[in-house]
Amino acid sequence: MIEFKNVSKWYGNFQVLNNCTFSIQKGDVVVICGPSGSGKSTLVKTINALESIQQGEIIVDGIKLNDPQTNLPQLRARVGMVFQNFELFPHLNVIENLTLAQIKVLGRSKDQAITYGLKYLERVGLLSQKDKFPGQLSGGQQQRVAIARALSMDPIIMLFDEPTSALDPEMVGEVLDVIVKLAKEGMTMCVITHEMSFAKNLSKRVIFMDEGKIVEDCSKDKFFGNPDLLSARAKEFLSKILRNN
């Protein structure tokens, strides 16, 4: 469903993505990890063309992203994205956050959009908060609203960029639960995370990035179970992060 072929990207002289090739099939749950600054966020943001690329090719659901004919807003509408800092729209209340793009982009009627919105708010357990403003919610609640906002667009894939790293520790669990539930229901997703126990739980597949390169793209069992088979960089990263946890 998603194809990356030899994708490279530069910021000036600095190469953020170096010849990345991988694919994601329908139903896949892929965890992306790697040291900070290794290009994980950039990689994920190229999937919905929030970041452009200079070399290579990205195909999402049969549509070439670098083709000037591609209607990027329509494509992005079908790719759900959850940010590290939630990025809810602070001037809109919860239900308006969920309905804005449904109405403006998908062309749903207001009633229809509200029905969808309430359905997904219920899924993340926040139906009772529908009239509150983002500023009145805890971090964990805001991130669950952000997930519901993405889901109410009926995405073909969900992208998560460190969805819990801005949260207080006691709120991490409620957000991870929602994501695990989604994965169990068969949602295709790509999750950047440093929560290794969550990663083990969630996915069958791990991509490890370092300095803009995809260094490992392997099964979870190999990544966590067989460190001797991994590259030196991945081993070092794993031992560091497991020690910290």
Ligand X SMILES: Nc1ncnc2c1ncn2[C@@H]1O[C@H](COP(=O)(O)OP(=O)(O)O)[C@@H](O)[C@H]1O
135 is an interface residue for another protein by CB under 8 A: yes
**Which range, of 31-39, 59-67, 93-101, 224-232, touches ligand X by CB under 6 A?**
31-39
If contact means CB under 5 to 8 A according to the sort of partner, which of another protein, ligand X, Mg ion, none does residue 142 touch? none
Rounded Cα distance between 34 and 198, Å, is 15
41 is an interface residue for Mg ion by CB under 5 A: yes
For residues 50-69, which are near another protein according to CB under 8 A? 50
233 is an interface residue for another protein by CB under 8 A: no
From 2, 4, 39, 140, residue interacting with ligand X (rule: CB under 6 A) = 39
40 is an interface residue for ligand X by CB under 6 A: yes
36 is an interface residue for ligand X by CB under 6 A: yes
User: Considering only CA atoms, which of 26, 152, 31, 32 is closest in space to residue 97?
Assistant: 152
C-beta of 16 vs 189, nearer to ligand X: 16
**Which range, of 34-42, 112-120, 172-180, 228-236, touches ligand X by CB under 6 A?**
34-42
Q: Which residues would be at the binding site for ligand X (CB under 6 A)?
A: 11, 16, 34, 36-42
